[in-house]
């Protein structure tokens, strides 16, 4: 289904008050998600934010299946939202039953009634701090107009996050996102070390760090910091 561009323009105008800080953060996130759901005409939409362990957590959802997507991706350590977050690029899957990129996640997601996903990374200071995503319970080819629309809505969410991060009063959300940014920095450094030392791809390096953290029952940031220290000879 194509995005209704007229409705999209109206939605952007209504959400423009975000830039003036006229809404509570929680209400603004819900409005962005509900608007995304409406203009795409899909089964659900959601805004996920990273925590200190590099997990994407739902901040607002329009359909409970988004909560399943979060849980399934954390459990299986793979999925379109994680890929969008890690690679900092738009990721779409128009038919998960025909997609082989995330085999463990896909089987579980389809079983929960999720067939198609489009995810856009949420940027802040050249890093991703979350994802805005839409899902469908039917096969859904994502049009170029739809991708641009999701990017535009992601930019609105990024504006909201910037307002939160730069506010005079440090909220719990701002502290969570700052911790996520700090964690991402050391994880990216560790990934770079493994890519250079072992010839891994960035994704393989990330998975190796994740597997080590899980095996040793340690935080991902702590494992990453060890890799960086060893590489520096400390």
List the CATH number of the domain containing 92: 3.30.450.40
- Please report the pLDDT score of residue 110 as a whole number: 93
What are the tens digits of pLDDT across the range 110-122?
998 899 999 999 9
Q: Residue 82: which domain range?
A: 5-165
**pLDDT band at 177, cuts 50/70/90?**
confident
pLDDT, average across residues 136-165: 85
Given a cut of 70, whether residue 18 has pLDDT beyond it is: no
Q: Are residues 155 and 191 in the same domain?
A: no
- Residues 60, 149: one domain? yes
Highest mean pLDDT range out of 93-97, 127-131, 212-216? 93-97
- In tens, the pLDDT along 153-172 reads 888 888 878 877 776 555 77
Question: Do residues 106 and 180 both lie within one domain?
Answer: no
Contacts of 200 (CB under 8 A, 6+ apart): 194, 208
Q: What is the pLDDT of residues 46-70, one digit of tens each?
A: 999 988 888 888 888 888 877 888 8
What is the model's pLDDT at position 1?
47
**pLDDT at residue 108, rounded to an integer:** 92
Confidence at 106, pLDDT banded by 50, 70, 90: very high
Q: Assess whether 149 and 189 both reside in one domain.
A: no
Residue with tokens 């856009």: 120
* pLDDT of 20 above 60: no
Span 208-219, average pLDDT = 88
- Which of 165, 180, 200 is at the close of a domain? 165
37 with 103, same domain? Answer: yes
Give pLDDT, residue 117: 95
CATH code assigned at 215: 1.10.10.10
Same domain for 113 and 197, yes or no, is no
The verdict on 97 and 209 lying in the same domain is no
* Residue 29: Cβ-neighbour burial (10 angstroms; 0-12, 13-18, 19+): buried
State what percent of residues in the chain have pLDDT above 90.
Answer: 29
Q: Are residues 59 and 88 in the same domain?
A: yes
Residues 101 and 203 in one domain: no
Cα 4 from Cα 41, distance rounded (Å)? 9
18-39 average pLDDT score: 75
Which residue has better confidence, 9 or 29?
29
127 and 211 in one domain?
no
Claim to verify: residue 159 and residue 213 sit in the same structural domain: no
Residues ≥6 apart with Cβ < 8 Å to 10: none
Domain boundary among 121, 141, 165: 165
């Amino acid at each position: 289904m194509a995005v209704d561009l007229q409705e999209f323009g109206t939605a952007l105008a209504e959400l423009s008050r975000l830039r003036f800080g006229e809404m509570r953060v929680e209400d603004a996130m819900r409005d962005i998600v509900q608007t995304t759901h409406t203009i795409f005409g899909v089964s659900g939409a959601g805004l996920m934010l990273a925590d200190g362990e590099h997990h994407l957590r739902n901040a607002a959802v329009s359909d409970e299946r988004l909560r399943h997507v979060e849980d399934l991706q954390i459990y299986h350590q793979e999925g379109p939202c994680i890929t969008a977050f890690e690679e900092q690029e738009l990721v779409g899957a128009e038919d998960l039953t025909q997609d082989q990129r995330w085999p463990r996640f896909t089987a579980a997601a389809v079983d929960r009634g999720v067939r198609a996903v489009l995810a856009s990374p949420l940027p802040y200071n050249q890093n991703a701090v979350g994802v805005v995503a839409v899902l469908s319970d039917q096969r859904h080819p994502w049009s170029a107009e739809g991708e641009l629309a999701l990017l535009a809505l992601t930019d609105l969410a990024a504006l909201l996050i910037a307002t939160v991060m730069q506010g005079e009063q440090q909220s719990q959300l701002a502290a969570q996102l700052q911790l996520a940014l700090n964690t991402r920095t050391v994880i990216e450094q560790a990934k770079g070390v493994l890519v250079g030392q072992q010839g891994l791809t960035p994704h393989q390096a990330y998975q190796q760090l994740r597997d080590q953290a899980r095996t040793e029952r340690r935080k991902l940031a702590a494992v990453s910091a060890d890799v960086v220290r060893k590489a520096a000879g400390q």
